[in-house]
Structure formats: C-alpha cells, structure tokens
Structure 1
Amino acid sequence: MTNPFDGIPGADLAYFREQSERFAASGASPAVPRLAATAILLRPDGAVLLMRRPVKMVFGGRWVFPGGSADPIDAEPGGSELEIAARAALREVREETGLVVAAEQLLAWARWVTPEFEPRRFDTYFFIGLVDAETDAVEVNGETEEHRWLTATAALAGYAAGQLSMLPPTVVTLRELADLSTMDAVRAAAVAKDLSSPILPRLP
C-alpha cells in the first residue's frame, strides 16, 4: 500500500506536519492507543454510509464511517481483541444509526493505529458491515450532523473536489472498495486480509 498521506489536500498535510513537528520538539512519549472499531456499512447497490462529525467532536467536520472506542461492555463475554472490536462495531452502529447488522454480516477488513504525533490515539479495527436492504433509514444522533449513502467512487470524487473532508484511513478504504464491484468480491477480499500487523501511517 502506498503511504496514506500521499495525495491528501495541502491544508491537511500542513496540519499533520505541524502536529508531527510539535510532538517531536516536545520530547514526549506517544500516547497509548485505545481499542476502537469502525464499521463500513455497505449496501447491495455499492453505497456506503458516511457521517459528518460535529466540529467540537473528535474528527470534527470530517466525513467518517460509524464507530468509536470499545467499552467495557464489549469485553464482558471475553474473547480476543478482534472479537471485542467486532462487538464494539455492532454496538456503535446501533447507537449511531439505529441500524442492526448481524454478526455474521461483519467482515474484518483492516486495522489502523493513529500516528504517534497525535495526542489521542486509537488502535482501530475496520469492519465491512453488509446491509441487505436498500435502506436509507438512519437515526442520527448528536454525534452526526449529516449523513449520506454514496458509492466509493462518488465519495472519492467528493473528496477530490474538496467537498468531503476525510482522514487517510477513510480514503484508503474507499479506494479499496472502489475496485470491488460485487458483494462476493468484497467477501473474497476480506478473507485475504491480515490484521496481525496494523497500519501505522508515517508522513512522507
């Protein structure tokens, strides 16, 4: 995979460079990442759900997939870190959208760790959540200002045009999905994924 910082908007790159230089000058140790989960809800027509976070929230103003930190309740049945993250992903989808995704419709896709220069860091498992119905029924809450169902190609076009502000993991995921034309292709790609070595973005 190419560096996820390649090709991002100039303002975003300048922000990340400033954060990186400030962290390096501080001499501080990187924050310990918190376990988190993200769910890319995928409809049969190829559309995925993107949600714009309020400005005052983490990732404020950005278009993201539903998700958040793992809670103690997610770990109650025990299991591996991946299993805890999967339960967190299903819970976050219910809380943020009102939609229910069956556990068997959740496909492990990727694992990203927030860059070391960020003050708040997450070890985030990304899952594809297959949505059977052609649904647009999303119950948004205070964590979302706006939502859209878009194909990966349309979302990337909005990003390139400066209309949809997104972080590198979101963009990389959309690029991967844009190359897959069917649900079967997505399932096959998910089987081949290796989440044992997380992606830790580094500035070029």
Structure 2
Amino acid sequence: MKTSLIASAALALLTSAAFAQTPAAAPQTPAQATVQRDVNQQQRIENGLQSGKITTREAGLLERDEAKVDKLQAKDLKDGKLTPAERRQLRVAQNKASRDIKTAENNGVNGNPLSASSQRMQADVQRNVNQEKRVENGLQTGALTKHEAGRLEQGQAKVDHAEAHAAADGHVGTAEQQRVQRAENRQSARIHRAKTNAATAG
C-alpha cells in the first residue's frame, strides 16, 4: 500500500514537472494574426458551402471581399511592416467580410452542396484555406518574411478574384474551374519558392 502511494505521488510529481517545462506558445505577431483570420474566414465560407447555407454565387461575392482584404495585406506588408493604422484598416475590411459571411449563412437562401458547381467551388475554397495556412505557417516558423507574405497575399487576391469571377453567375463550370486551378497552381509554386529560399524573417 505504502509503495503504491509513493509511486502515485512520484508519478504526479513527474507529470506536473513535465507540464511546467512545456514552453508556452509564442504570441502571434500582427502579420500572423491577420493571415490567421484569412484562414478562419475562408474556412467559414467552405463550411457554408458544404452545409448548403452559402450558395455558389454568394461564395463568389464573399471571395470578392477576401480579394480586397488580401490586396490590403499585400500593400501593407510590402515594406515588411504593419503599422497600427494599417492594422486598423485591415481589421475594418476583415470585419466587413465577416459580417457578409454571417449574412450569407443566415439569409435563408440555400445552395445544393452536392451539385457539381458547388463541389467545384468547395474544392477551390478549400485550396484557399490550405494556401493561407501555408503562408501563416511560414510567418510563424520564420520561413517567410513579412515582405514575402505580402507578395503572396497579392497572389491570393488574384486567386480570390478568379473564384469570384467564375461564380458570378451562380455556376462554376469545368472550364472556369480549370482557370481557377491554374491560378492556384501558380500561387502554390510561389509559396513553395518563398518558403524554401534563403530569406528568413529577422
């Protein structure tokens, strides 16, 4: 009995020591936070498409909002800095995009998530989620500088614009998706090059 109590106490002590030694996650920089919000908002669009709460046409309009946000990020991060005024401007643009997503989710206009058009849009928006995650991860690890992230957000804006154009009439055809995919492939290659070059965040 005494032995098992000692063993239990020792185990509890070791466990608490292990938790105490786990380093706390570093707080996000403003640049990381704004790109992380892109990830979250693209994921909300994707979820809405999958549930049918967001139609293909609505997703196209929302991607137009996202393109505006990405263009702002590209401009603001061009010099490798993000000033308080630029952060406020970005927050306003992202808040508008967030409100528009919420409106689309709750306006009672539903899409068919199983339609070929919606499936194409879902695939494209999911790729946006993934590519924004790659940019955010690159900022977090230091593989991308803020300047590089800004250039990549310019590329994301082009992809968003292509998606918005493809979905403008509420239907994404095969040829339209192929055009979007070519833009996504170019963007993916740009992200890869930026993350594997010699430049590191300072």
TM-score by length of 2: 0.28
What is the TM-score of this pair, normalised by structure 1? 0.28
